[in-house]
Every structure is written in structure tokens, then in C-alpha cells.
Amino acid sequence: MNPRVLYHIARADFFERVRRYSFLVTLAFTLYAAFEANRGNIVVNLGHYRGVYNSAWLGMLLSLTATFLITMVGFYVIKNTVERDRQTGVGQILAATPVSRVSYLTGKALSNLAVVGVIAAILLCTAFAMQLWRAEATGVDPWKLAAPFLFLTLPALVFLSVLAVLFECVPGLRGGFGNIFYFFFWTGLLGAGIGAHIDYLDLVGAGYVESSVKQGVENLPGYTGGFSFQIGPHGGESFDTFVWNGFHWTAGVIAARLTWFVFSLLVLMLAAAFFDRFDPSRGIFRRFAARRRVGASGTTTEEEVGALPGTVSLPASGPAGAGAETSGRRAAAIEGHHLTPLAAEAGGWMFGTVLAAEIRLMLKGRSRWWLLVALGLLIGSFAAPAGEPRGKVLAFAWLWPVLVWSAMGTREAQHATGPLIFSSARALGRQLPAVWLAGTLLALVAGAGAGARSIAAGDWLHAFAWFGGAMFIPALALALGVWSGTSKLFEGFYTALWYAGPAQPTAGLDFMGASPNLSARVPIFYLAATIVLLAAAAVGRRRQIRS
Amino acid sequence: MRLEIQDVSKQYEGKLWALRNFTLDLAPGVLGLLGPNGAGKSTLMRILATIANPTEGRVRWNGVDIAQQPDVLRSELGYLPQDFGVYPNLNAVEFLEYLAAVKGIGAQCARRRIDELLALVNLTDARKRPLGGYSGGMRQRVGIAQALLNDPKLLIVDEPTAGLDPEERVRFRNLLSELSGERIVILSTHIVSDVEATATGIAIMSRGRLVAHATPEGLLARLEGKVWEWVVSSDELTAARQHFLISTVTRRSDGVHGRVVADAPPGAGAQPAPPTLEDAYLQAVAGERSAEAP
């Protein structure tokens, strides 16, 4: 591996990313997190205690915040580096250079690391600024501020950077399924660290943070256990403070964190094995199959040589004039074609036709297995008993089509069909509502059992929540899709919202009425949110149509 | 049927003017829009296709300002952009059915039209194959078919022959000629021979400005007596290029045969030659560049 090559792959990719408007959004989000931390809305508390804002505590708090947020959201920010080369065609140029798979992917992982490193650096600066601003402890200790970033955050960021590259290289994880899968993978790692206390699986390092800070508070009066890391307002609760002097970076702790570098190396090798070098015919499985064929016959057949990329098949010899003759005949044949003039109906409102077309487009390419699972969940939502079981089935019935919804509003950008569609009449007034309605109909059908049973039982509140949820999901998908131009934002956000809301269920986040105990205010809120989201989608689409 | 482009300018972020004071009045026929890369052709096409707004000026379709009421034009517009994509999981019929619906064409009418269009662009045999497996030329033909779906009164095609093989290029030129009767066709390209075969009018752009607008015959007439075939040695060619506008060069056993555009014979032995559109195009673009030079 040539370090200069790695540097330039990473540098070019990093510059390409940070010069996009989307990076400004990432920075704005980071600065907002820093602002919230300074306001005291991001806290680590142990019962009614929290640490004095000294260098040790703030280093720990902001490092934990950085690691938690970046490993959760940052994945979706950085998982596009290989895909960008694929879409822009730069990959074709790179594939024709001597750069190896491992070098290319290492460069890309380094670029990922640089992007998330910027976010972490902002939060490290925030820790320093907070200590001066809050002035609860004098004397800034740079080591105590930075060490948690070095030992807790950095290994997690390295692993995340490489993992994002792996997801881009494995065909099944490259798309929307990978985005959803990652969320549950991350949740699992978090549980392994905090719940099960398996140190070498604790990516965020929360388990070690918990055990370390607990040592400082164990003998204080009124402490009965508990450790909590909260992001968001905590109801103005005031905490008693104690002085915490920081982590003890023992060899064992450092070794446990260093294992993430080893994991990263393994993941990078795995990614290189899967990477197709921008030629779908060169994926790991195809390479393996080709080797077996060659190995079995001991030689490569002519047919196989013809199938290899970059090999040109010459046409069989024939009369020199044959091609020209055919060409002339076919070119002349154009005069025989006839185009029927369109009937007067062309240019009419035709909303039903557009809606039907959007539904067909939405479901096109779904496998029979996909439909079978959706049908199973539909039947399940009819059959499940009222209350929590039916709510759970509805929740899963409305998680299953997430990849269908996530294409809404992004399809035109993803497949570059925008100029064709936006230059059509009523692209805003007809096509956009048809897309949303198609998504709503899908939700209504997928969760029909729960809705029908609620109506039959006269449970109008749950029926209202069900109907509101069916309108809310595609409105959210459309708004996020139109404004971000990528399906990842909806896939990540919706999965997190689904997990925190209907899957738990948490009352205020239960946008579909999966909880047996439902307040009327919740569906009304999501109905209002639907209207706002649709308006946002319309404004965004209008902007796209008239650049 | 009339398309009026009045003093249209377009400025992108970074203060770059892609179009400056472009004015043109169009009636039915094929307008060949020629210009070097970066001349502003695609920007003009996007404005005419209602997907970009001019910074200054206005465009009227049959008297209606298309910035104010874009749908008036959109319902009669066929647009083939320079860069466009397709949905890879759909086949050609499904993709065209989808776009027909988006354009407001009824299902029955669309089906017949799609069959005819696929035959026209020579894709009937591949109609059921997913578009993801199409070659670049085949996708371009799908693009041509979609532009004709709604029987447009204004057809805008931006570099339509890019990626087409010679046979399909000839087919497309023939098709444009046949279509031009009762509609306005704007064909943007930098391939002079495409325009030569089809255009009833030619507009030449350079650096965002319109530098010439005339019939092909009119453009050629301007150069009558100003094109010379001159044979020079290989050594003299470099010096000749510095002093004269040389449109084409052919190497033969007796030396280098160059076509020179000049008011007077460039040197001894230069013979008058009939002008071609390529000569006219190069002369117009070179003339504009020298006028701009300090």
C-alpha cells in the first residue's frame, strides 16, 4: 500500500464531501448538539448526582456524546463514498488504474474517518469551551479532556468508518436493507456494552464509562444505583454534584479498546473480498464460481474469455457489404412507420391513471417473498387479538414496506429521471400527490387488519390513529426524500422512530396507535405533522422543478 | 405556433453567465442549435423545457409566458435531456407507460402509441427486457421514444445522437425530418452533420450568445467565395494555422490539403471551394471569439 495513494484517495473524497451543502447540514447538527450539551440537555447522571464540570467529566460527557451520536447517525452520513464513485463514473476510471482493492477501500475508510473526525473534533472543542463557560472547576487539564476521545471515541470511529465501507461493498447491505440492518446492529452492540457488559463488544464504551463514574459516587449519601445518559430536556431536574477525577487507563482497558482496531482490519479485509471494483461481474461469489470453473476444466473456455470484462468479441467474417445493406434497408424502413395522433384526452387531469402508474412503479421489482411476508403480516393483523399483540403486528406490518416508502421523492434524483418528469405538465399538482397517495394506500392495505378490527369494534381512537399513521409515514418519506435526495435519511430516521415509538411502545412517539393506551392528542399531533410534511414536500419539489 | 425567446440571460452561482441576451423567434420547422462545449446550449434547452428559470428575459409559447404558466407549454412539450436516467427494474413498455401517465395520456391511447414508438426506435424486440440491461444507445432510443409520447408541438432534443451507432443516427435524422411538419423541433448538438441533414434553420451559439441565425442556405451564401482549398507542406501547416482559419485538413501524397476560410486567397495555388456548414460554423464561432478578445 502506497501511503501517497491512500492520502490522495482520502483527500479527494474528503474535499468532495465537505464542499457539498449536505456537509453544512451535518456541521449544523453537530453545533446544535454542542449547544444542547452546553445548555445542560445532554447529561450523564447517577440518580440525582452528576459530576462537576471539570476536564475529566466534560471529556467523558462529550466523548460519550460524540461516540453515541456518530455511531448512530454518522453511519448514514458516511455510507456513500464508494456509491458516489459508482454513480459519477469516477469508479470506472479508478478501476482502470493499478490501485488495489485494499488501497482504494482504505483510502475511502480514511475519508470516512476524516468526516466523522471533524464532528468529534467540534465536540472536543465544545468540552473545552464548556469548562470555561460553566466555570464549575478551574484548571483545564488537556489530557483528561482529550483522553476519552482518544481511547473511547477514536476506536469506535475507526470501526464505523470501515464498517460503512463494508456495507457499501456487500450487495445485500449496499441499499436500504443495509441502512435498516445497521440500526438494529448498532442497538445490539449498545445492549452488549451497557446491558450485558461484554467489554470487547462495547463499541460506544458506555459500559466502561458506567463502571468508572459509579466508583466516584458509590459512597455518597442517597445514591441507590443507576446510571443514565440522556440526550434531550430532562424536565428541569436539578442534580447534586460530585467531583470525578477521570478514567484509569489501565492496560486492560486500552487493550479492550484496541480490539476495535483489530476488528476494523478484519472488516476491511472482508470489504476488499466483497468489493467488485465497479464491475458487478467481479463480485466475490462470481470470482469464486469462475475459479471453480477454470479449476474444474483446467483451462479457460473461449466462451468464458468472451465474458471477461475488457475482452472484445470480433464478429464472424461475412460478406463485406452485408452490414451496409442491412443498415440501408432498416434506415429506409422508418418511412413505413406510423404514429397515431393522440386523442383529445391527452393533457386531461387523469389523476387515477397517474396514481395507478405510481402504484405499479412502487411495487415493481418486489420479490414474491416480499409480497408473501407482507401478506402474512396483513393476515396477522386481522387475526391478532386486540391490545398489545395487534399493535405489535401492525408495527411490523408498517416496518416491512420501509424500502418502498423510502424511494418516494428520491426516485427522480436516484435514477436521474427528474428532467423527464419535471418537464411534464402538473408535475407538482398531479404527480406529487399521486406518489403520496400511492404510499398511503400501501400503508392502509399493509395494515388493513388492524384498522378494520378497530372500526368493527367501534374503537374510533385507534382507527383514527391507524388512518393518521398511514398518511403520516408516506408524508414523512416524501418530505425527507425530496429535501435530502437520498432514501437513507428516511430509512434511518423512520427505523429509529419506529423503534423508539410503536415498537416499545412510547406514547408520544406512537404515530400509528400500536399502544393499547392511546391519548387523542397523539394522532392529532401526527395529523398536523402530516400536513406540515406534505407542505414541505411540495415546496421542495417546486424548488426541484424550477431550479 | 410560435416560440419567442426575448433577451434571455441565465446566471449561475459563482457569477457565471451561461446565457447572455439571447433572442430568437421560432415557427414550425427544425432549428439546429450549434455551439462548442460550454456555449450555453443545454442551459437554453433547460429554460425552454421549463425546468430552469431565466435570470433575465422571458420566453413565450403562443403568447404565454412559460415562467408564469409552465403547464401551458409542458402539455405540448417533448424533451430529451442531454443526461437522463431510467428506472432499471422496469422494461421499456412499463417505463413509457409510467411516463405516459405522468404526461396525462390515457392508458389505451398510450399503449398503442408506445407500440408504435418502440417500433419507430427499433426496440420492439427488446421491449420486455429490464432497462437496467440496456446499452447506452438503447437507453437513448428509449429517451427519444418518451420525448414523442405526447405528440409534442415543441420537441426539444439535446445531443440526441450521443451514444447512437451510425445506423441509428441515420434513422433518428430521418425521424426528425418527418416530424418537423407541424411542430417546432429544436435540435441541440455540436455535430454539424446532424444539423446539415435535418435543420431548416440554424442558430450558432458561442459563450452564451447567439452569434448567427439563418437558414442553412443563408449561412452558406455568406461564405460564397470565401473558402479555399490550399495545399501546403507539413512544415508550413503550423504557420498557416496561426494566420488563417483552417476548417479541415487532409494529408495526401502531394502535401497537406487544408480548407481555409478567408476573404482572399491565403496564398499561391489556393483554389476556391464550395462552402460547407462546418466552414460556416467555425467561421461564426471564431469570429465571435476574436471579437471578444481584448
Cα A289 vs. chain centroid, distance in angstroms?
32
Cα A498 vs. chain centroid, distance in angstroms?
14
Mean pLDDT of B102-108: 82
pLDDT at A329 exceeding the cut of 50: no
Per-residue model confidence as pLDDT tens digits over A11-58: 888 988 887 777 888 888 888 888 888 888 888 888 888 889 999 999
Interface of A with B in 89-118 (CB under 8 A): none
Q: Do A350 and B106 touch (CB under 8 A)?
A: yes
Mean pLDDT of A229-238: 72
The answer on B239 and B175 residing in a single domain is no
Is B67 in contact with B103 (CB distance < 8 Å)? no
Interface of B with A in 131-160 (CB under 8 A): 143, 146, 148, 150-151
ipTM confidence: 0.71
Region of B231 please: left (phi>0), alpha (psi -120 to 50) or beta: beta
> In whole angstroms, how far apart are CA A9 and each of A3, A83, A294, A398, B46?
10, 14, 34, 41, 34
pLDDT of residue A537: 95
Per-residue model confidence as pLDDT tens digits over B147-162: 999 899 999 999 888 7
How close, in Å, is residue B203 to chain A by CA atoms? 23
Q: Do B106 and A354 touch (CB under 8 A)?
A: no
Mean pLDDT of A138-165: 94
How close, in Å, is residue B79 to chain A by CA atoms? 7
pLDDT at B99 exceeding the cut of 50: yes
Residue A46 DSSP class: B
* DSSP annotation string for chain B: --EEEEEEEEE-TTS-EEEEEEEEEE-SEEEEEE--TTSSHHHHHHHHTTSS--SEEEEEETTEETTT-HHHHHTTEEEE-SS----TTSBHHHHHHHHHHHTT--HHHHHHHHHHHHHHTT-GGGTTSBGGG--HHHHHHHHHHHHTTT--SEEEEESTTTT--HHHHHHHHHHHHHHTTTSEEEEEES-HHHHHHH-SEEEEEETTEEEEEE-HHHHHHHTTT-EEEEEE-HHHHHHHHHHSEEEEEEEETTEEEEEEE-SS--STT-EE----HHHHHHHHHHHHHHHH--
How close, in Å, is residue A169 to chain B by CA atoms? 20
Scanning every residue of chain A, which has its alpha carbon at the shortest distance from the alpha carbon of B75? A425
Nearest to A419 among B79, B94, B117 (CB): B79
Nearest to B49 among A335, A345, A423 (CB): A423
**Which residues on B lie below 8 Å from A425 (Cβ)?**
71, 74-75, 103-104
Return d(Cα A28, Cα A326) in angstroms, integer: 62
Nearest to B167 among A327, A425, A426 (CB): A327
Return d(Cα B287, Cα B273) in angstroms, integer: 20
**Which residues on B lie below 8 Å from A281 (Cβ)?**
none
Task: Identify the sign of the CA torsion A170, A171, A172, A175.
Answer: positive
Interface of B with A in 106-125 (CB under 8 A): 106-107, 109, 112-113, 116-117, 119-120, 122
Scanning every residue of chain B, which has its alpha carbon at the shortest distance from the alpha carbon of A328? B167
The answer on B154 and B13 residing in a single domain is yes
Return d(Cα A182, Cα A76) in angstroms, integer: 9
**Which residues on B lie below 8 Å from A342 (Cβ)?**
105, 109, 113, 150-151
Per-residue model confidence as pLDDT tens digits over A69-119: 999 889 998 998 998 888 877 787 777 777 788 999 999 999 999 999 999
Radius of gyration of chain B measured on its C-alpha atoms = 21
Q: What angle do CA A112, A207, A225 make, to 5 degrees?
A: 145
pLDDT at A436 exceeding the cut of 50: yes
Return d(Cα A483, Cα B177) in angstroms, integer: 41
B36: which 3 cell numbers?
Answer: 462548442
Per-residue model confidence as pLDDT tens digits over B230-273: 888 888 888 888 888 888 888 888 888 989 998 888 888 889 99
Region of A426 please: left (phi>0), alpha (psi -120 to 50) or beta: left
Bridge partners, B229 (sequence order): B259, B271
Q: Do A427 and B102 touch (CB under 8 A)?
A: yes
pLDDT of residue A235: 62
pLDDT at A303 exceeding the cut of 80: no
Return d(Cα B202, Cα B215) in angstroms, integer: 6
Scanning every residue of chain B, which has its alpha carbon at the shortest distance from the alpha carbon of A544? B51
Instruction: State the pLDDT confidence band at A482, using cuts at 50, 70 and 90.
Output: very high
pLDDT of residue A3: 80
Mean pLDDT of A527-542: 95
pLDDT of residue A504: 81
* B52 interfacial to chain A (CB closer than 8 Å): yes
Checking DSSP bridges between strand B227-232 and strand B209-214, what pairing results, if any?
A: unpaired
Per-residue model confidence as pLDDT tens digits over A439-481: 999 999 999 999 999 999 999 999 999 999 999 999 999 999 9
Which of B32, B28, B31, B11 lies closest to B20 in space, CA to CA? B11
Interface of A with B in 442-481 (CB under 8 A): none
Write phi, then psi, for B251 (nearest 5 degrees): -95, 125
Return d(Cα B141, Cα B120) in angstroms, integer: 9
Cα A373 vs. chain centroid, distance in angstroms?
23
Write phi, then psi, for B213 (nearest 5 degrees): -145, 115
Q: Do A346 and B103 touch (CB under 8 A)?
A: yes
Q: Which helix (H) or strand (E) holds A45?
A: strand A42-45
A506: which 3 cell numbers?
Answer: 412510547
Scanning every residue of chain B, which has its alpha carbon at the shortest distance from the alpha carbon of A541? B51
The answer on B225 and B100 residing in a single domain is no
**Which residues on B lie below 8 Å from A343 (Cβ)?**
106, 109
**Which residues on A lie below 8 Å from B76 (Cβ)?**
347
Query: How many independent structural domains does chain B possess?
Result: 2
Checking DSSP bridges between strand B154-158 and strand B184-189, what pairing results, if any?
A: parallel
pLDDT of residue A525: 94
Hey, which of A107-111, A290-294, A493-497, B10-14 has the most confident mean pLDDT?
A107-111
Q: Do B74 and A424 touch (CB under 8 A)?
A: yes
**Which residues on B lie below 8 Å from A340 (Cβ)?**
112-113, 116
What is the overall mean pLDDT for chain A? 84
Scanning every residue of chain A, which has its alpha carbon at the shortest distance from the alpha carbon of B98? A357
Percent of chain B residues past pLDDT 90, beyond the cut: 35
Q: Which helix (H) or strand (E) holds A49?
A: strand A49-51
Q: Do B120 and A334 touch (CB under 8 A)?
A: yes
Bridge partners, A46 (sequence order): A49
- Of B186, B215, B244, the residue at which a domain comes to its end is B215
Lookup result for grid cell 422571458: B58
**Which residues on B lie below 8 Å from A426 (Cβ)?**
71, 74, 104
Which of B114, B135, B195 lies closest to B160 in space, CA to CA? B195
Which has more pLDDT, A349 or A525? A525
Region of B284 please: left (phi>0), alpha (psi -120 to 50) or beta: alpha
Hey, which of A110-124, A362-376, A489-503 has the most confident mean pLDDT?
A110-124
pLDDT of residue A294: 56
Mean pLDDT of B194-215: 90
Instruction: State the pLDDT confidence band at A316, using cuts at 50, 70 and 90.
Output: very low
Return d(Cα A128, Cα B28) in angstroms, integer: 70
Which of A431, A421, A126, A169 lies closest to A275 in space, CA to CA? A169
A437: which 3 cell numbers?
Answer: 397517495
The answer on B200 and B136 residing in a single domain is yes
Percent of chain A residues past pLDDT 70, beyond the cut: 87
The answer on B118 and B19 residing in a single domain is yes
The answer on B23 and B126 residing in a single domain is yes
The total number of residues shown for chain A amounts to: 547
**Which residues on B lie below 8 Å from A415 (Cβ)?**
85-88
Q: What is the CATH number of the domain that holds B98?
A: 3.40.50.300
Q: Do A347 and B98 touch (CB under 8 A)?
A: no
Interface of A with B in 414-443 (CB under 8 A): 415-427, 430-431
Radius of gyration of chain A measured on its C-alpha atoms = 28
How close, in Å, is residue A544 to chain B by CA atoms? 8
pLDDT at A327 exceeding the cut of 60: no
> In whole angstroms, how far apart are CA A149 and each of A51, A65, A247, A276?
18, 10, 12, 35
Is B132 in contact with B92 (CB distance < 8 Å)? no
Burial A195-206 (b: 16+ CB within 10 A, else e): eeeebebbbbbb
- Of B196, B215, B234, the residue at which a domain comes to its end is B215
Is A378 in contact with A446 (CB distance < 8 Å)? yes
The answer on B106 and B45 residing in a single domain is yes
The answer on B176 and B239 residing in a single domain is no
* A339 interfacial to chain B (CB closer than 8 Å): yes
Bridge partners, B4 (sequence order): B25, B60
pLDDT of residue A295: 59
Q: Do A364 and B89 touch (CB under 8 A)?
A: yes
Write phi, then psi, for A367 (nearest 5 degrees): -75, 165
pLDDT of residue A283: 63
Instruction: Look up the domain containing B130 and give its range.
Output: 3-215
Residue A256 DSSP class: H
Nearest to A341 among B99, B103, B151 (CB): B151
Q: Mutation test of the interface with chain B: which of A325, A414, A420, choosing the one with the most B Cβ atoms within 10 A? A: A420
Report the range of poorest mean pLDDT among A150-154, A224-228, A360-364.
A224-228
> In whole angstroms, how far apart are CA A523 and each of A405, A514, A518, B183, B285?
20, 11, 9, 53, 64
Q: Do B151 and A339 touch (CB under 8 A)?
A: yes
Scanning every residue of chain A, which has its alpha carbon at the shortest distance from the alpha carbon of B112? A340
- Of B198, B215, B232, the residue at which a domain comes to its end is B215
**Which residues on B lie below 8 Å from A360 (Cβ)?**
94, 97-98
What does pTM read for this prediction?
0.70
pLDDT of residue B191: 82
B27: which 3 cell numbers?
Answer: 415557427
Return d(Cα A250, Cα A281) in angstroms, integer: 49
Which has more pLDDT, B64 or A499? B64
> In whole angstroms, how far apart are CA A423 and each of A207, A542, B219?
55, 12, 33
The answer on B136 and B13 residing in a single domain is yes
pLDDT at A312 exceeding the cut of 80: no
Write phi, then psi, for B91 (nearest 5 degrees): -90, 180
pLDDT of residue A313: 35
Return d(Cα A504, Cα A481) in angstroms, integer: 26
Query: What angle do the packed helices A154-169 and A251-274 form, to 10 degrees?
Result: 20
Mean pLDDT of A173-186: 89
Q: Establish, for the pair of chains A and B, how many residue pairs have beta carbons separated by less than 8 Å.
A: 150
End-to-end C-alpha distance for chain B, whole angstroms: 42
What is the overall mean pLDDT for chain B? 88
The answer on B225 and B82 residing in a single domain is no
Bridge partners, B250 (sequence order): B257
How close, in Å, is residue A253 to chain B by CA atoms? 50
* A499 interfacial to chain B (CB closer than 8 Å): no
Nearest to A346 among B52, B105, B167 (CB): B105
Q: Do A354 and B104 touch (CB under 8 A)?
A: yes
Which of A447, A458, A457 lies closest to A511 in space, CA to CA? A447
pLDDT at B285 exceeding the cut of 60: yes
Return d(Cα A383, Cα A381) in angstroms, integer: 6
> In whole angstroms, how far apart are CA A543 and each of A256, A394, B14?
50, 35, 19
Interface of A with B in 304-333 (CB under 8 A): 327, 330-331
The answer on B26 and B91 residing in a single domain is yes
**Which residues on A lie below 8 Å from B167 (Cβ)?**
327, 330-331
Residue A386's SS3 state is: coil
Which has more pLDDT, A86 or B19? B19
The answer on B13 and B140 residing in a single domain is yes
What's the one-letter identity of residue B189? T
